[in-house]
Structure 1
Amino acid sequence: MATDETPEPDDPSEEGLWRPLWALFREMDGDIARLYREAEIEGVRTTWVGELLRLDRRGPMTIRELADSMGHSHSALSQKVAAMRAAGLVDTLPGEDARTKRVTLTDRARSVVGRLAAEWRATERASRELEAELPYPLSQVVQDMRQALERRSFHDRIAALLAEDPQWR
């Protein structure tokens, strides 16, 4: 509901409190992708590196095991595995029953996974350096937000605001 002090925009999608944060993360991710291009690591998306490293360290896993270990849904990981398979980075083998598949690295992935691990470690160090330059570390913001959300979930906060909005009812 609009008031004289806070007019509601015609298009609510024009608002985005955390849009600059997401844009910043995309820029940083783009810098990592640029490093891959410069190092001629072709066909590896930055969003796949965690899973590739996990498979390298722990060996073949079912899609469910890999999803659980990474904190992702089975559906999301299944799509990611399909894309990594199409890129020639993983193979899927039959699992213990007809419904499961075991994911394993290909020779191509094994040939770059050491470099990906080096990039991951360097990225973590660079992130710590960057955070040390900030007056209030982002990792502390995340902890503080988690504590606030434990007191009152994001769902409950949004639901309470929607209850006041006649367009939602």
Structure 2
Amino acid sequence: MEDPTEQSLWRPLHELLGRMDAEIGRIYTDREITGLKPTYVRELLQLHFRGPMTITELADALGRTHSALSQKVSAMRTAGLVRTVPGADARSKQVTLTAKSKKLVDLLAAEWRATEAAIAELEAELPYPMSQVVRDVEAALVRKSFHDRIAEKLGKQQ
């Protein structure tokens, strides 16, 4: 049997996004900011603009699962970017910005805007904008889910 991971239509997209995230990360490195990852910025800005939130509230605001946000909050807490305190009930935790991340908020908002402007510039150079690709893929997945497409292919193999 051959290794199926040697072929991938998906990998180039993941690698491209990884390279783009790494380039954003260089912005933080250039400014000697430690512990900050590009994947934390949206959460930090949400907490800044909306105020402290429970993990559930933050997950809902971002369209993520509680489990995924809980793991991310833990990593951001380790990096010194957020802190958690008991919430209104014993099962919830309130997430707040630390002094370290409060100092970064202006830069993070500016970087977000600059990143969006850079993406718009990049899209203008392309014959088919990335944002249109996303909309087209989403529309195709409304017609038939990714799960159903994979399950169908698995059914044909058995």
Same fold (TM over 0.5): yes
Q: 1: CA distance between counterparts of 2:4 and 2:33?
A: 40
Q: 1: CA distance between counterparts of 2:36 and 2:150?
A: 37
Partner of 1:77: 69
> What are the equivalent positions in structure 2 for 1:4-15 lying under 5 Å apart?
10-15=2-7
Larger radius of gyration: 1
Partner of 1:131: 123
Q: CA deviation at 1:42?
A: 1.6
How many residue pairs get aligned? The number is 158
Partner of 2:142: 150
1:118 and 2:97 are equivalent in the alignment:
no
Q: Which has the higher contact order (CA 8 A, sep 6+)?
A: 2
Partner of 2:49: 57
Identity %: 61
Query: What secondary structure, in the 3-state scheme, does the structure 2 residue paired with 1:91 have?
Result: strand
Q: 1: CA distance between counterparts of 2:152 and 2:10?
A: 20
Q: CA deviation at 1:43?
A: 1.3
Deviations 1:71-95 (Å, cap 9, x if unpaired)? 1110010011111111111111111
Greater helix fraction, Structure 1 or Structure 2 = 2
Runs of 4+ aligned residues of structure 1 deviating over 3 Å after TM superposition are none
Question: Counterpart of 1:56 in structure 2: which amino acid?
Answer: H
The runs of 5 or more residues in structure 2 that have no matched partner are: none
Q: CA deviation at 1:58?
A: 0.4
Q: CA deviation at 1:139?
A: 0.8
Partner of 1:6: none
Query: What secondary structure, in the 3-state scheme, does the structure 2 residue paired with 1:44 have?
Result: coil
1:86 and 2:84 are equivalent in the alignment:
no
1:98 and 2:90 are equivalent in the alignment:
yes
1:33 and 2:25 are equivalent in the alignment:
yes
Partner of 2:39: 47
Query: What secondary structure, in the 3-state scheme, does the structure 2 residue paired with 1:164 have?
Result: helix
TM-score, scaled to structure 2? 0.97
Query: What secondary structure, in the 3-state scheme, does the structure 2 residue paired with 1:159 have?
Result: helix
The runs of 5 or more residues in structure 1 that have no matched partner are: 1-8
